[in-house]
Structure 1
Amino acid sequence: MRSPSRALRPGQHAELYIVDVDTGERTLVHESPTVLFEAPNWTPDGMHLLVNGDGWLYRIPVEGGDLAEVPLGEIPPINNDHVLSPDGETVYVSANDGHLYAIPFATGLPRRVSNDHGTDFRHYLHGVSPDGSTLAYIGMLVAEDGAVTTNVFTLPAAGGEDTQLTDDPFPNDGSEYSPDGQWIYFNSERASATPGHAQLFRMAPDGTGVEQLSHDERVNWFPHVSPDGRRIVYVSFPPGTIGHPADHDVIIRVIEPDGAVRDLASLFGGQGTMNVASWAPDSTRVAFVAYPVRS
């Protein structure tokens, strides 16, 4: 048993849902009163979901069933930042040692991808380019005085030199490629003087041409673009929220092709609900996790 980064509260359950983006109809796939699982993403064939929990990675059929452990080899416990390669043959994970690893499903043998930037630097993975060649991650640097900066970086999936795309004091997170590879989407506090007021942005893969996509009073995190490139879903926290904490009333929202924003689902969740790409391959459904507390 690995040590989880957080655990369910007394009476709390983790519930994995699939929601139809057009109708809003929810389907409960799996629930647990013991395992705090997080961050679903889909296999490219649309048959399974992957979630992390207790430091492990699990696979579950979309129609429901039991969580089946995915072999990760000898790596430290993982967190909720994991993505699949476009061909579905490799999973890339962020481990609690601060590094990124590639694990082919065929062998289960991990390969460290990230470079060593010292113990005060940690990698949090969020995206892989459509051609599978490049990873987008958040680099978190903790200074000697405790100040934290988070910036967007890219890194060859095969290993190689990092490229820093943002270099600023604003909290940045959730960097994810668009399906056509023309953009990297992310959330940032760069447009507000109010701490915690994150909004959604995108930029070219070289870090130029930054555009703001959301403009409201709520705190918006983790933009995920549908595989057909038409819609964006994200997690919206109440105004005044700092960061992306657990155990909050949040809304999953959709930005439509015409720019209209609508609510898709309201739930008790936040951290772990939808940290990574969570669209079905056919762009009709999204997976998320809720964490209700029952009396």
Structure 2
Amino acid sequence: MPLQGRHAFITGGGRGIGLACARALLAQGASVTIAGRDAAALENAATTLRASIVAPRKTGNPVSDPLGRTPTIQMPRVAVSVLDVTDEAAVHAAFTTAQQQLGPVTILLNNAGQAQPAPFAKTTSQHWQNMLDVNLTGAFHCTQAVLPQMLEQGWGRIVNIASTAGLKGYKYVSAYVAAKHGLVGLTRALALELATKNITVNAVCPGYTETDIVQDAIANIMQKTGRSEEQARAELAAGNPQQRLVQVEDVANAVAWLCQPASSAMTGQSIAVAGGEVM
């Protein structure tokens, strides 16, 4: 359990990629705080996560330290934080509470995000600002709030869930694409600032993934074009050389690896989880 004793804070943790990442990090021994705006979804997710925690098997004879004490295994725990990442004051308060509940936060997963399509000519300034606030500024708030805890502990892992939209362009989502490009840029700049602090900063960039955002995209295609759900799904999967939608577990596996102590040389990277769509 390489993350035993670590505390991970996951925004957008009540469903989709965030929930899958919470499962993966729990399986590696980390305690997790799942955060989001939907209190009911968070409580349901927390119940599921707590039920999934399995005590490690005891193998062989326990090894005692020189004072004769037998090491104990710290079981992972799950906490919930109802939070809007665009509210700076609320974010800082949430990280203070999280530390009090489960100890210092040394893993941050900036996963909260939202995609609202609009042709550029019909993109209002409010739409533009909303996309920046949720997809970029929220990560800025959370990272600023958690850094003092990581610096005090002398160890940290920050993983930003960007998108292939942070590595290339997509039409009709210019505000979302701009925000995700900004998140990739933030990842690279912060990785350099923290390179000597034993804190890594990376981005994971999924392609179209089986999440609520993609379900909304499918519904939008069906409404605008009259295509069936199967046809709409095929259209989204067509850009993936594997001809499939990415699964949340695919993303969670990449995130979990980046959080391990063994990934200490990986920083400033933007890893596409997209079946070869971006190389």
> Do the two structures share a fold, i.e. TM-score over 0.5?
no
- TM-score, normalisation: structure 2: 0.31
Greater strand content: 1
The structure that is helix-richer by fraction is 2
Q: Which has the larger radius of gyration?
A: 2
Higher relative contact order (CA 8 A, sep 6+): 2
- Give me the TM-score of the superposition, normalised by structure 1: 0.30
